[in-house]
Structure 1
Amino acid sequence: MPLLPPGASMESTHCCEEATMVWIAGLFLVAHGLIHLAIWLPKADPKAPFDAGHSPFAGNVRHTAAAMAVAAAVVLAAGGLGLIGGASWWPPATITGAALSTARLLLTFNKWWLIALGINAAIIVLSVQQNA
């Protein structure tokens, strides 16, 4: 039997663990949204290994990519805050934010975005499971 604080029960411990995971997941979604702003809003650094505003399909798409990044950031952050607050709309918001992010990653695709595509896929799958 695990050691519990005085007066704590297994149910209360499970509840605390669940609440902690909700906070961690919600803050992850907010941080994931903010990272979009950090990558797509600054001007391109000529020393960077890639240009976040360049599309292999359409050339310079800096303004479009920045607008998509802002939209994804806002929707992902809202989804994260909705998750923390227990709102019923957080799964669709999170799915929409991750879909916007994925569309922007595909528009400006380079090998550096593979991990980000995996993160977005995980966000979408986990959100769909919660929505079911």
Structure 2
Amino acid sequence: MIWIAGLFLIAHGLLHLAIWLPKPDKKMPFDAGHSPFAGNVRRLAAVLAVAAALVLAAGGLGLIGGASWWAPATISGAAISAALLLLTFNKWWLIALGINAAIIVLSLQQIG
């Protein structure tokens, strides 16, 4: 089960790269580089996506490897991801916000 959870965290992190790094596609139902609050935030979104991907992947690898720091790293990665989702918010991100909330709650349970 640890392997599955760790691989899920790694995949969740890599998904950020797949969504926010490519150039926008006009066929997509939303623009991942657009913020309803701040307009074009493509560069900031890309930086946050890379940060979320790196930290979530590190948390996943830490979990698989039994490192003591995996939970704080995972919480940090999910928080970065949530900030990115809120910055570029659209209705498609509601489930992703739920996933990040679940990651944070489950990781906090492992700390306490």
TM-score, normalization: structure 1?
0.85
Residue 66 of structure 2, aligned match among 63, 71, 86: 86
Q: Which residue of 2 aligns with 1:125?
A: 105
Q: Which residue of 2 aligns with 1:50?
A: 30
User: What secondary structure, in the 3-state scheme, does the structure 1 residue paired with 2:22 have?
Assistant: coil
**Structure 1 runs not aligned, ≥5 long:** 1-20
Structure with larger Rg:
1
Runs of 4+ in 1 over 6 A off after TM superposition: none
Gaps of 5+ in 2: none
Decide which of 41, 53, 59 is 2:39's aligned counterpart: 59
How many positions carry a matched residue from both structures?
112
Shift of 1:47: 1.2
Map 1:1-132 to 2 at 5 A. Answer: 21-132=1-112
Please list the CA deviations of residues 75-103 of structure 1 after superposition, one character each: whole Å capped at 9, or x if unmatched: 00000000000000000000000000000
**Larger RCO (CA under 8 A, 6+ residues apart):** 2
The alignment's C-alpha RMSD in Å is 0.3
